[in-house]
Structure 1
Amino acid sequence: MRSDLCGLKFHMHSNFLSGYENENIITRWDSDRYLRSTFQVASNFFKPDIVVFLGDLTDEGDNDIGGEGNDPFLPSKLERFTEEFGKIKSHILRTVEFIPVNRIASESSLPEKCKNDSLISCVVLSHIPVNVYGKEYASHIMIKINPLLTISAHEHSSFVIYPKMDPLHIEDINDFSVHNFKSDESVEIVAPTCSYRMGKQIYGFGALVIGDNKIISYNVLWSPSRFVALIVYGFFVLIVCFVVCLRISSWFILRTMGLY
């Protein structure tokens, strides 16, 4: 790896753990096993300094504070969530400050920077993309935090948003290439889901490097298709069943004829 990419490496992804409601033990076991295996392979390959989970970790946790579908956001739900998990706090690792924000809640929920230091780069973390659903909230973040980078998820697809372009430019990331971004672009990277249960054809783990020169390099470590593997498994099961049935029927015929 080049020397200009030795700043900070981290995974970010939108996870999904199947819950116990409306889920049988076989599908839950297969989904958990797939996530565990692919995450381990990706982590061993990339060796990140930090792993970022971008929300919606479990099936039942999809609407902890509301805001999706027919489940409205309520301040009481946010208070309940805060009592269990604490207030939103920033975290500094080396020269990068990670600032989590809540797009569903009010703008007043934006945390303050830990340090007003020009050497510290701010990275905003949000489950819902901040530059897609309303310009006012995105502008508020740019003014109050002025992030080097914004990372989000929610859409289950991988793409990058260029908020400083007019009109807003969105570029899909569905390849294996490494994408480089300059610090003054203030891009928002939307990480894909890493679960095959989200109805997407491709899924994987976002791998990002912030270099010492604040150059951002991003790539997706795509996971192998689970559906293809399941089809292959099913095909071999059918072959085995066919061979077993053929052997049993042959044995039965030979026994009936008195040849066995």
Structure 2
Amino acid sequence: MKYNGNIDRTWLKIFLSVFLLAYFINEHLVYFIQSYRWPTFPDIHRHPEKYQVLLLVGDPQIQGYQDENIFPIGTLSRWDIDRYLRKTFSYAYDYTKPDVIVFLGDLFDEGSKASRFEYSETFNRFSYIFHETKHTKTIYIPGDNDIGGEGRDFQTQRKIERYEQHFGNMTEIIKFGFIDYVKIHIQSHALTEDKVAAAERLRHKQTSKYTLLLNHQTFMMGPKHFVYPIIKRLHPKLILSAHWHKAEMYTCLDCLRDDEYSWTVSRQDVSFINTFLDLDLSSQHSMFELAAPTCSYRMGVVNIGYMVVILGENGSLQFTVLWLPRRYTMLLGYVVTLLVFLIAFCMNKCGTRRR
């Protein structure tokens, strides 16, 4: 029995229509709907001398070339995560219109071990994905994936020099408005005399009303014997970190007292925050740390997003997380669409043969 070519063309048109609908939903509509689920932005006087809006980017970990699958899977994987990050960051940027963008480390997934060519290619992709950084004040700090330091991936001077060549100094104060942004790379259980000396040098350069300490790894939950020497010298009111890929808040109401034996830190999971939360930095002895979640769906966690912090000159602080759509669910939608179509097509063919 010969099949009618018109019927096959009809099924092809149906498939293309369904696929285009799935593509429109997954690649456009989902992002648009998710952005409308973000909380209403607070009504503030937008001026860096009164309020500063910070957009925090945690662990983007741009995928490299050594640990990915061979062509074409690896190429498709890099292409898809790059598109996802570029699209979601653009939505977050348009929503916040930030005064400062802060990248909280692990910028590249293979930054520590990439060849010269791989590093250059990844940097070009990074610049393309986060192209809005060209128009906004941006601060970068390194993570262990960028310069080593975790497990057997040792930190070396060559890795540090390559990072600083592309993203600026690892240790410095960046002054903007009423805030001193302090960059000082300290790893867990690894405080050295050089880091204490660096903190002492930075202390003499502090002039702004508030100090924000930027570090890739969470700071306040570390052993006190290496946390306190830094805190004592810099007196940060707020610490921004990432590393664990989860949104968390750490609070200490007496960490800035002269009594170094007083140290009570509470930890709060904010993975389900859906509005702006308020904090007060005006208290003399209190200190807070906000850990930003990862923004990459490749990190193996469900809740991913960009953290937003609004800091007022009067000590007010508001923050939230702009949660992002679940890319693996979207990719699964393509598979389900294809399977449903194939089942319907096969059932129709079988019914035609019986007739």
Matched, 1:63 2:145: yes
Matched, 1:98 2:201: no
Matched, 1:178 2:276: yes
Alignment correspondent of 2:64 = 19
Supply the AA of the counterpart residue of 2:202. E
Deviation at 1:141, TM superposition (A): 2.2
Aligned-residue RMSD, C-alpha:
2.6
Matched, 1:7 2:96: no
Identity among equivalent pairs (%)? 29
How is 1:11-160 mapped onto 2 (pairs within 5 angstroms)? 11-14=55-58, 15-23=60-68, 24-61=74-111, 62-74=144-156, 77-78=159-160, 81-82=163-164, 86-87=168-169, 88-104=171-187, 106=192, 107=195, 108-110=197-199, 112-113=202-203, 115-117=205-207, 119-160=208-249
Alignment correspondent of 2:341 = 240
Q: Deviations over 1:196-226 (max 9, x none)?
A: 1111110000000001212111111111111
Q: Deviations over 1:76-128 (max 9, x none)?
A: 654665566553222111111111111136323435157443x5311111111
Q: Deviations over 1:114-167 (max 9, x none)?
A: 7443x5311111111121222233212221111121100001001011134653
Deviation at 1:31, TM superposition (A): 1.0
Deviation at 1:74, TM superposition (A): 4.8
Could you tell which deviates more after superposition, 48-57 or 240-249? 240-249
The 1:179–1:167 alpha-carbon spacing in structure 2 relative to 1, beyond 3 Å, is: same
Q: SS of the counterpart of 2:83? A: helix
The 1:236–1:76 alpha-carbon spacing in structure 2 relative to 1, beyond 3 Å, is: closer
Q: Deviations over 1:61-82 (max 9, x none)?
A: 2534322122234566546655
Q: 8 Å contact 2:275–2:320 — kept in the other structure?
A: yes
Supply the AA of the counterpart residue of 2:66. E
The 1:177–1:86 alpha-carbon spacing in structure 2 relative to 1, beyond 3 Å, is: closer
Q: How many corresponding residue pairs?
A: 253
Deviation at 1:187, TM superposition (A): 0.2
Name the structure where helix makes up a greater proportion of residues: 2
Could you tell which deviates more after superposition, 84-93 or 173-182? 84-93
Q: 8 Å contact 1:90–1:114 — kept in the other structure?
A: no
The 1:43–1:63 alpha-carbon spacing in structure 2 relative to 1, beyond 3 Å, is: closer
With the length of structure 2 as denominator, give the TM-score of the two structures: 0.64
With the length of structure 1 as denominator, give the TM-score of the two structures: 0.86
Q: Deviations over 1:12-46 (max 9, x none)?
A: 12122111223211111111111111111111111
Could you tell which deviates more after superposition, 9-18 or 198-207? 9-18
Q: 8 Å contact 2:105–2:146 — kept in the other structure?
A: no
Distance between the aligned counterparts of 2:183 and 2:241, measured in 1? 10
Supply the AA of the counterpart residue of 2:325. P
Unaligned 5+ runs, structure 1? none
Alignment correspondent of 2:298 = 197
Distance between the aligned counterparts of 2:329 and 2:319, measured in 1? 27
